Amino acid sequence: MQFLYNGGCENLQVDSSDVLELMAAANFFQLDGLLQYCEVQCSTMIDLDNIVSMYIHAKVRANCIGFPVSLCYSHQSKLNVCF
């Protein structure tokens, strides 16, 4: 709601545990600015321990195929995983 009232993400602060759910909502309501904000937040949080769960969540819940796939391929050499 803060995004809608303020018209942007400048002062937006979201807990890392809520970013994936917010990304799903932003995609559902077609809020491209908020979706991009969530993608940037997720890209800073990604590591070896959570990349698979983030990929699955983003693909299933948010239906944002470009974001997780590109992230997984960009981190592929670091992960030694083939998708």
**For range 49-73, the mean pLDDT:** 65
Burial group, residue 23, by CB count within 10 angstroms (0-12, 13-18, 19+): buried
68: containing domain: 15-79
Give the per-residue pLDDT at 63: 55
In this prediction the pTM is 0.65
In a domain, residue 69? The reply is yes
pLDDT band of residue 9 (cuts 50, 70, 90) is confident
Residue 9 domain-assigned?
no
* DSSP-assigned letter for residue 16: G
- Distance between CA 3 and CA 5 in Å, rounded? 6
The total number of structural domains that make up the chain: 1
Residue 61 lies in a domain: yes
Residue 2 lies in a domain: no
**Residue 45 within a domain:** yes
pLDDT value for 77: 43
Instruction: With a cut of 80, say whether residue 61 has pLDDT above it.
Output: no
With respect to residue 22, please indicate whether it lies within any of the assigned structural domains: yes
Note whether residue 75 is domain-resident: yes
pLDDT average, residue stretch 39-52 = 90
Average pLDDT over every residue of 49-61: 81
Residue 7 lies in a domain: no
